[in-house]
Chain A
Amino acid sequence: QVQLVQSGAEVKQPGASVKVSCKASGYTFTGYYIHWVRQAPGQGLEWMGWINVNSGGTTYAQKFQGRVTVTRDTSINTAYMELTWLRSDDTAIYYCARDQGGGYTALNHWGQGTLVTVSS
C-alpha cells in the first residue's frame, strides 16, 4: 500500500533553516508528483509547492519563492522540503502529499505530518 513517512518534529530558532523528508513506498516513486502543504496551529491548509519527481521540476507558491526548495532523491524514494529564514509564523505542521498522477490532480495520499516549531 502507498505510504508516505515523514521525518520527526523539529524546533528551530528564528533565522534558521529546516529540512523535512518524506519517504515514499508502495508505488513507483517517479510516476507521481509530491506536494507540500502546511497548516499553522488551529488554521487551514496552505499549499507551498510541488515537485515532478520524474523530472525534478518544481513549482512554488509565490509567497514562499526564495525561501523554499523541494528536492528528491530517486535512489531512496525520498522527497525533501527545505525552508530557510524561519520566522515564528512558520510554526506549523508540514505535510507531504502524493497526487493522483500528472500534477494537476487531487492529493490522495498524505504523510503523517511534521511539526516545525520556530521559537527563540
Chain B
Amino acid sequence: DIVMTQSPDSLAVSLGERATINCKSSQSVLYNSNNKNYLGWYQQKPGQPPKVLIYWASTRESGVPDRFSGSGSGTDFTLTISSLQAEDVAVYYCQQYYSSPFTFGGGTKVEIK
C-alpha cells in the first residue's frame, strides 16, 4: 500500500496569511504515460463530508477559490492557501488514487491564530 504522510498535523495561521500543508507518498504517484500525478486534496469542515479542492495535484476544482493551489510531483506535494480566510478553518487531506487502496494522509487541521 502507498502510505501518505502529511505535515504538520495542525497549524494556526493569522487571517490573510499563507498556510502551507505538505504531503509525501511512500512511492511515486506520477503516471509516466500521461505525466499526471494521481493526487487530490480535500477539505473537511466539522459535520460535513469531504470536498475536493485540487485534483491531478494542481488542478483546481470548479468553484474553488483561487487562493487554494496545489503543487509538487512524484512523491512530494503541497497545498497552499495564499491568504487564509475564516471559512478555511477545516481539516485538509491528501489522497493518492494511483493504486488501490486509494489511501489518504492523516489530515492537517488548520485554525486561525
Contact = CB atoms under 8 A, between A and B. Distances in A.
B107 A106 contact: no
A45 B51 contact: no
B49 A95 contact: yes
B104 interface: yes
B38 interface: yes
Interface residues of B, number: 24
Interface of B: 1, 38, 40, 42, 44, 49-52, 55-56, 61, 93, 95, 97-98, 100-107
Interface stretch (A23-31, A83-91, A110-118): A110-118
Q: How large is the interface on A (under 10, 10 to 19, 20 to 34, 35 or more residues)?
A: 20 to 34
Interface in A24-62: 35, 37, 44-47, 49-50, 59, 61-62
| Majority secondary structure of chain B interface residues (helix, strand, loop or mixed) | loop
Given A61-B100, A62-B101, A106-B52, A44 B95 contact: no
Contacts of A113: 49
Interface of A: 35, 37, 44-47, 49-50, 59, 61-63, 95, 97, 99-100, 104-108, 110-113
